[in-house]
Amino acid sequence: MKPNYLKLIFAILFSIYFLWIARDPMLGSFLDLVDLPIHETGHLIFHPFGEFLGIAGGSLFQVILPAVFVGYFVWREQYYSAAIVLFWVGQSILNVWVYAADAVVMQLVLTSGFTGSEGSFHDWNYLLTTTGLLGST
């Protein structure tokens, strides 16, 4: 089997990029612009299951959707593609972590253009307050 150097270089660059954003997730990623509409769509999809799941659905769907693509590529035995898309799953988890970590101070600028502390609704503040876990963060 002949090695595909272009794929190897691409995988190495993706790995370096992931390590860079994992070191400081607050910097953001080019995939944030992809994650946002997926996150918002998750609210719509999970809304019929009640208020709590409707709100949690944004973050859930943001991680579930790329994981479905990973599963598809594994099913098709396209392991390289699955590994590359797995980067997206990891980036989405980091993105959700940043949002959840902001639940107490609420300083992230949200889709409204305001921060949670300025009166904009903050998903993770609601979720952690509702479950009684806000003080544990």
Assigned token pair, 28: 């953001």
Q: In this predicted structure, what is the pLDDT of residue 35? A: 95
Q: How far is CA 17 from the centre of its chain?
A: 16
CB neighbourhood size of 55 (10 A)? 21
Q: What is the pLDDT of residue 4?
A: 86
- Asked if residue 102 lies in contact with residue 124, where contact means CB atoms within 8 angstroms, the answer is yes
The amino acid at residue 54 is G
Beta-bridged to residue 109, according to DSSP, are 115
Sequence-separated (6 or more) residues with CB below 8 Å from residue 18: 87, 90, 91
Contact 87, 70 (CB under 8 A): no
pLDDT in tens, 32-60: 999 999 999 999 999 999 999 999 999 99
State the number of CA atoms in the 13 A half-sphere of 59 facing the CB. Answer: 19
- What is the mean pLDDT of the segment spanning 21-27? 85
Residue 27: CB atoms within 10 Å: 10
Q: Is pLDDT at 1 greater than 70 in this prediction?
A: no
